[in-house]
Amino acid sequence: MELIKIQKGKRIAKRKDKVKDWYLIQSGAVIQKLGFAEVVLGPNAIIGILERDWFICDYITKEDTAIAPLSCGNADDLKNILAANERYRIVFLRTAIEQRHRIFGLYAQLHKRTSQFHAFVQTVYNDYKTFCSSYQLDEQPFPQMDYFNMLEMKHKAEAWEVNNSTSLIKNVLKEYIQMMVKDDSLCVGVIMEASAQMHRAMLGIGEMVSYLTDHREILLAESENDIFHLHFDLAVRCSKRHLDIAPVKQELDFLSGFVRKIQIYQPSVIKARIEQYEEYDFANASSAQLAKKIDVRTEDCFRHILEFGQISKEEADAFKAQVEAFRNLPDMTSTDAAAYKIRKQIAPLFYNIYYQVFMQAIENEEEASPIIEMFLNFGFMDTKLAGEENAIALYDLTGRLRQFKSERVYTIYTWLKSIYFGRNEPSKNEFELDYMAFLLEQKKNGDLNEAQVKKMQNDQKEKVRFEIMNMFSSANRITYGKITTFCPILCEFDLINTIDKMAVTVERLDEELNKIRKIDFTAFFREVNFTEAANDILSHEMLMKEVLPDIILMPNAGTRAMMWQETADKRRDTRARFLFPIFTAANLEEMMIETVGRYRWEMCRKIQGVRWNDVREKSLTSEYCDYLQFYRKNRDLSADAKDKLKTAIQRAKNNYREVFVKDYQGWINYESKGSFRLNKVAREILVVYCPFAKEIRDKLKINPMYQISIPKFERDNAKKAQRLTALYDKYQKAGGEITDELKENLLYCQL
């Protein structure tokens, strides 16, 4: 068995990475981590036993550790492993049962903590209201409580499961294992059942971790916009009036004790906030002031945004006049000339103001209020336009902006920040020009001289301006979906459901993208050069590497998504850029499938270059173009199929890409489930260039529709895998190391 030694503090597997193997821990210790929830795994524990297609957890070594990889993805693989080595039966059985017990223990602990948190928040907020009433002082507005509800779990571990696991561990573990180990089916069944229970329980743990992480700031927040501040402020107001503050201070001590005990807060936040209270001189409270909180129901948000951005009076007045005219329209969604003209005049003013507010937020981020965050991330400007209830919900959402951020998902604000700080380059404009090409075009036209081009090429502010005035302004309108009625300011008539239900979060995006990856497993794989070749054997080998897209959320309530760029620059191994509205009532699954379909077409075009439609160079686009161009003469198409294809081409206005996208939607939604919607020719092209994952192929290849095409595809893949295996053996014997990059390349041919 291969043994891999890993130093302390290194990551073995990363959350959301594809699961390729299980790993048996031989020595050392590994932290299984999901947010702030952790389990320590020791020798004989199995990393991956509860995982499925993508890792739910991070796995990080707690100390120097040795692990052995196991090729196990299902019950058949497990049966083969146990058959090959009998001593693993007892090890795997005991491990599965004990790991399940620990996961159930963590689940039960978090379930209790979540219930306690919800009850505590309700209690201390009601206490605050009672205090205000008894002291005859006004309550400070706190709209977050309007949307604070108990968590509704989707993935549950039942009490009987937890109790059953506890009794088994405590009372009959030895006897149970001795009985189960005697029969292969029982042995595999117990392990896989424990695996399924752990998987479900860990998904539930993830829900609870997200709930506590998303809502913890309602009680104690670095921004001071919390219940702790309400009581603190009340104590200050009472002391100014020489009222007895002992009951309020007792409540603050009670609250302080809870936030220390519940273990969901950063120690630095607890220290800073509680020390502020403990060191506060209530005897001289009249000379001190606490920060004033903003209430979106009463605050002039529009003015607040313009003042923060230091917008000139002339520009502010012009913008106000247009927005007022928009507000006063009898129907703000009207398509008549007058309404269209007002909206058209608002747009350029909005983006110029956005740039100025963005720059102020970058330079004075600590001064950016939730209202500024609402503007920069959601396009909110005015409570009257957005609606009071929506404004309150958006205000609350600023405390949970992490829902819209990940390594690959950005709000428009965080995307522009990544450009400002040089982590990403600006996108191409509508004329397919990147930032540098745009500057050179301006120079060619006489709008810029060489000195200006040289100065601007590394000017991060100008790069941000370019992104706002090009990609952002165009994509915001397109993703909104109704170009003729588009207004860049978030409006109530577009928010046809609650904010939370319309929010396009990282979790929702990952879910829809992963659905496609489980069907069309090659969707995001590209050929790249092997960069770590230790000798000449693999130095010219092209490897398949999965490169997932960046997703940028436009600040609108829209109905469309789009594939803006298939790569970030000329290199093949850079990420595509997908654009989605940050709020939508449309079907997100269909939006994602359509976007991936367009990406597949455009990525093929980029790789093929000028020969993208030359059938002599076999590719997805060349074969599809040939099929669509000459369908009338194709003997493999029935008269009915030709009629349908003629209609499809007409509907797509002779755009072959759009015909393919419709077929791709049918491929993912129907053909993968055995419901046949494509004609024979389209199906045979997609089998080759958008192949289904092995599990789906195994179900479909017995069908007459696929009896020839799928076996042929699998034979071709088997030949590639055989060639690679031989090549890897030769490479390894010559001193080369089989890296993760090489393993993924071989796995690609085996899926």
Condensed to tens digits (0 to 9), the pLDDT of residues 487-530 reads 999 999 999 999 999 999 999 999 999 999 999 999 999 988 88
Q: How far is CA 252 from CA 141, 194, 223, 241, 257, in A?
A: 19, 44, 17, 19, 9
With a cut of 50, say whether residue 8 has pLDDT above it. Answer: yes
CA distance 282 to 747: 67
Q: What percent of the chain has pLDDT over 70?
A: 99
Condensed to tens digits (0 to 9), the pLDDT of residues 467-479 reads 999 999 999 999 9
> How would you class 131 by CB atoms within 10 Å of its CB: exposed for 0-12, middle for 13-18, buried for 19 or more?
buried
- The Cβ-side half-sphere exposure at 510, using a 13 Å CA radius, reads 19
* H-type alpha helices, 291-332: 301-308, 313-327
Reported confidence tier of residue 659, pLDDT bands at 50, 70, 90: very high
Nearest residue to 487 via CA among 646, 306, 606, 350: 350
Show the beta-strand stretches assigned E in 28-147: 30-34, 37-41, 46-47, 58-61, 65-70
Reported confidence tier of residue 293, pLDDT bands at 50, 70, 90: low
Condensed to tens digits (0 to 9), the pLDDT of residues 606-634 reads 999 999 999 999 999 999 999 999 999 99
Asked whether the beta carbons of 323 and 390 are under 8 A apart, the reply is: no
* H-type alpha helices, 216-312: 227-240, 246-262, 267-278, 301-308
With a cut of 90, say whether residue 1 has pLDDT above it. Answer: no
Reported confidence tier of residue 399, pLDDT bands at 50, 70, 90: confident
Asked whether the beta carbons of 156 and 108 are under 8 A apart, the reply is: no
CA distance 96 to 187: 11
The pLDDT of residue 285: 62
Asked whether the beta carbons of 410 and 418 are under 8 A apart, the reply is: yes
Looking at every residue in the chain, the average pLDDT score rounds to 93
The pLDDT of residue 287: 37
Asked whether the beta carbons of 367 and 325 are under 8 A apart, the reply is: no
Tokens of 36: 């702030």
CA distance 695 to 697: 6
The pLDDT of residue 192: 95
- The Cβ-side half-sphere exposure at 609, using a 13 Å CA radius, reads 3
Reported confidence tier of residue 297, pLDDT bands at 50, 70, 90: confident
Name the residue type at position 619. S
> How would you class 166 by CB atoms within 10 Å of its CB: exposed for 0-12, middle for 13-18, buried for 19 or more?
middle
With a cut of 60, say whether residue 291 has pLDDT above it. Answer: no
The pLDDT of residue 288: 41
Q: How far is CA 495 from the centre of its chain?
A: 22
Condensed to tens digits (0 to 9), the pLDDT of residues 147-165 reads 899 999 999 999 999 999 9
pTM: 0.88
Residues near 132 by Cβ (< 8 Å), separated by ≥ 6? 138, 139, 234
Cα–Cα–Cα angle for 456, 460, 465, rounded to 5 degrees: 85
Tokens of 569: 């620059």
Q: How far is CA 580 from CA 214, 373, 633, in A?
A: 22, 19, 40
The pLDDT of residue 95: 95
